Amino acid sequence: MPLPTDQATIINNIRQSGKWLLEFYEELSDQSTRQLLPGCSFSATDLLTYQIGWRNLLFGWDISETKGLQPLMPAPGYRWNQLGKLAQSFYNQYANLPIKELCKEFSKTLHNIVTWINNQTPETLFHPDQRRWAGNKWPLVKWIQVNTIIPYQSGRRTLCKANIEYHPNLKRFSDY
C-alpha cells in the first residue's frame, strides 16, 4: 500500500477504513463478539481492543517525546518480542466493556488520531527523522498507516471472512 502524500488523504483513509471496521460491529451482539472467531485465536472484541490499544500507544509515544521524555516502546514493561503479551494486556484492559462502549472508544481514538494529524506540519508527517521514536527510516505517516489504516482493513477482512457463514447478510470487505 503506497503511503499517502498529504494530510487530507491519510485522514480520509483512516476515516473510511475505521468506518468499515465499525460497520462490522453493528451487525453483532455483545455475546457473539466475545466468542473466538472460527480459525482464529482471538474474538471480535479482542480485535477491536487491540486496535484501541495500539492507537493509544502511538499517542503515548508522541506525547512522551513532546514532553522531552524517552518513549518506552512498544509499551512500559514490554519488549518488541513480547507483542503477544502486550495484546493480551489490551484484551484484559477492556474485557468488561460492552461492545457498544468499545465502539465508542474506538470512535474516540479515530477522532483523536485525525485531530493529531491535523495538528502536525506536512514536514513532520511526511519526512523521516522528525520524531526520535519514529527513527530516521520511516516518516510519521508510515507509522500512522501501519498502526491505523492497514490493521483496520486487515481486521475487517479477518472478521468478515471468519463470520460470513454466521452472518450471511454481512457485507464483505470487497463489497465496498
Is the pLDDT at 73 greater than 60? The verdict is: yes
Is the pLDDT at 111 greater than 90? The verdict is: yes
Q: How does residue 76 score in pLDDT terms, banded at 50, 70 and 90? A: very high
Q: C-alpha cell of 107?
A: 470512535
Q: Are the C-beta atoms of residues 58 and 147 closer than 8 Å to each other?
A: yes
pLDDT digits (tens, 9 = 90+) for 1-16: 789 999 999 999 999 9
The pLDDT value recorded for residue 121 is: 96
pLDDT digits (tens, 9 = 90+) for 149-172: 888 888 777 777 776 444 555 554
Q: How does residue 86 score in pLDDT terms, banded at 50, 70 and 90? A: very high
Secondary structure letter of residue 75 according to DSSP: B
Secondary structure letter of residue 36 according to DSSP: B
Average of per-residue pLDDT values in the chain? 86
Q: At what angle do helices 44-66 and 140-147 cross, to 10 degrees?
A: 160
Secondary structure letter of residue 64 according to DSSP: H
Q: How does residue 49 score in pLDDT terms, banded at 50, 70 and 90? A: very high
Q: C-alpha cell of 42?
A: 482471538
CA atoms of 85 and 129, how far apart (whole Å): 29
Mean pLDDT, rounded, for 74-98: 94
Is the pLDDT at 176 greater than 50? The verdict is: no
All structural domains of the chain: 7-175 (1.20.120.450)
Beta bridge partners of 36: 43
- Pick the range with the lowest mean pLDDT from 42-56, 103-117, 145-159: 145-159
**CA nearest neighbour of 8 among 174, 147, 122:** 122
Mean pLDDT, rounded, for 138-156: 87
pLDDT digits (tens, 9 = 90+) for 114-126: 999 999 999 999 9
